[in-house]
Amino acid sequence: MRRWTVFVAALVVLSMLLPGDFSLAKSTQTDHSEKKTAAKAESSVKSSPKKDGGQSSKSTRSAKSESKKDVAKQSSQTGGQTGGQAGAKSDGKAGSKSAGKPEAKSDAKSGEKAADTAKSKSASKSKKRAASEPRESREPRQAKAAPPALPDSYKGEFGVDTKAALVMDMQTGRVLFAQEPDMPIPPASLTKVLTLFLINERLREGSLKLDETIPVSQEASHAGGSTMRLKTGESVTLDDLIKGIAIASANDGCVAVAEYLGKGDTHPFVEAMNRKAKEIGMANSQFFNPNGLPAEGQVTTARDMAVLAQTYLKTFPETLSIHSMTEFTRNNRVRHNSNSLLGKVEGVDGLKTGFVCASGFNIVVTAKRGDTRLVAVVLGAKNRRIREREATRLVEEGFKIVAAERGGSHQQVAMSHGKDPMLH
């Protein structure tokens, strides 16, 4: 028994003294020899007398412990590949579990834990960064399309706060801006421009004179709305009636003239109004009275009103001497022109305002700067202030557009609605 023990110890010492590469190359042979040695040791222990049981048992345990220590050392030198197979079967299994597998498992577990820890730290950092960043930076940014180039005369998207609007160069008839130009809207007192058109035609023909006196009927004196306060049975010169219609927007004066020319009936005069409207190109207008008081089916459009103003002023430019007046006095009573752009906006010298509940606040206005005259129309403003503001914008923007075009920039003017560059 002692021989075997000495032999095993000698093998162990030799394995420790030999170089690492040699031990690695001979590791398999050493394992086999160690197995054989352990098996012989166990068989010798079993065959020994009982009186030597304690001593042999101690030797066996000593051999086993030394064998385990040697195997552990070899496994540490060779990478743990051949470490726990040197003892008996049961001891070899225990040795292999204690030497190789637990270390591998612990290394794997520690590696997994380290990876999980790194992942969790990275995830928490990314969450913190995402939380600190604004939402816009986290979302994919899309390249915004560049806004379309607008003429210098435009301020952003040029539109007016009314139902319909239009501005045109009166000399050329070119539409500079239009918003719902063909929307039918009650004309209100803008109708009086057409009434004055027919009166001035009669004056030019010689069938009427400014000093001619016009009788006032009961129907005329009860016209209602804005009036000259005409009295039934009185006579008024045509010159005063023209001023009353143009400046004070006299509904009673319109009825008096229409009845006078129609031999006591307004209908012939209204029929003449509609014929003239079609003749000059007011394609979408219809009139049922000479003053614009509410009447079913009585409508016009911004385009038609621009046509009327253009034709009226070209035909009778002298009428601006009256339309530019800010007030009119008759019978010691002063009546003011409701065209609030007079004296406020450069170049404005006419034409007419109007209002009925069905349409809102309307205006057709003209202005001249240099050799350019514009006509602007606003229909359906919510109040007088908006009507004045939007009409002013149309005039100002219109002159800027003309100046830009004459300056050689040849900028294309965008129209809100409609494609026709000219009025027809």
Residues marked active site are found at 189, 192, 249
- Tokens at 236, concatenated: 């008024």
- Between CA 311 and CA 387 the distance in angstroms is 23
CB 300 within 8 A of CB 190: yes
Taking residue 278's Cβ as centre, other Cβ atoms within 10 Å add up to: 11
**Which residues are within 8 A (CB) of 143 and not within 5 positions of it... i.e. 6 or more apart?**
none
The tokens describing 419, both together, are 């494609």
Helix 191-205 to helix 251-261 angle (10° resolution) is 40
DSSP structure class, residue 189: G
Residue 94 burial by Cβ neighbours in a 10 Å radius (0-12, 13-18, 19+): middle
* 20: exposed, middle or buried (Cβ count in 10 Å: 0-12, 13-18, 19+): exposed
The H helix count followed by the E strand count for the chain is 15, 9
Beta bridge mates, 23: none
Instruction: Give Cα 187 to chain centroid, integer Å.
Output: 35
In whole angstroms, what is the distance from residue 17 CA to residue 33 CA?
17
Compute the distance between CA of residue 364 and CA of residue 301 in angstroms, rounded to an integer.
11
Residue 45: φ, ψ to 5°: -65, -45
**Containing H/E element for 53?**
helix 53-78
Closest CA to 421 of 185, 195, 175: 175
Query: Listing from the earlier edge strand, what are the strands of the sheet with 175-179?
Result: 175-179, 164-169, 372-381, 360-369, 348-356
Q: What separation, in Å, do the N-terminal and C-terminal C-alpha atoms of the chain show?
A: 132
DSSP SS3 for 185: strand
